[in-house]
Amino acid sequence: MVKYPELFVLRHGQTEWNVAGKFQGQKNSPLTAKGKAQAQLQYELLSGVETLPKQAFISPQYRTVHTAQIALGPQIEQVLDDRLKEINFGAWEGKARSELKSLIGDDYESGLWHFMSPQGETFEEISARVQSFLDELTAPAIIVTHGITSIILRGIYMGLDQLELLQLPRKQGCIYHLADGVETLIAKSENDQRTLSYVS
């Protein structure tokens, strides 16, 4: 397994489309009040980390930029990177989760449909851009990204295959700490803190 630098991965806070159950992909939807509070919680969690990276890489989409503005302190350099954008869901962007579930049917639970949307990105395409990003990292970093992009990045980091990474959690208002091939969830409640290790 390739060894990458230590990472602190944040998903953006809750958005209006998250509440509505709509797929956002590369379209934009503003943070809700809860989403802003989740970003503030991420700031508090990061403040408790003894040695934080000095640089953060952020998806340029509005919901991640807004989250980063709240979650990251002024001492952290913020760099936008297109490779951290959410998956392009193509024709499915803006569709309701319930509508898509009825279209996909029994295969919905596997999650493989995420990479099969008409005019959308395939697993190979999103993996290639995320892999390119990881290959260029030379120092520990904070990453502010999206649900699907997050699990692709974390899955590559831990050496997971496609089905395994689709089982990873995509919570908001927490931090996924990656070091030496192992992921640890940093969350508000001590009961929520657990070490997550996966075998590919």
- Bridge partners for 58 per DSSP: 80, 144
**What DSSP string runs through 118-171?**
TTS--HHHHHHHHHHHHHH--S-EEEEE-HHHHHHHHHHHHT--HHHHTTS---
Contact 178, 158 (CB under 8 A): yes
Any catalytic annotation for residue 114?
Answer: no
CA atoms within 13 A on the CB side of 154: 32
CA atoms within 13 A on the CB side of 178: 25
Among the listed residues 86, 93, 121, 183, the single catalytic one is 86
User: How far is it, in rounded angstroms, from Cα 186 to Cα 192?
Assistant: 8
Residues with Cβ < 8 Å from 200, sequence gap 6 or more? 158, 159, 160, 161, 164
DSSP 8-state code for residue 51:
S
**What DSSP string runs through 75-90?**
TSEEEE-GGGSPP--G
Any catalytic annotation for residue 183?
Answer: no
Residues with a catalytic annotation lie at: 12, 86
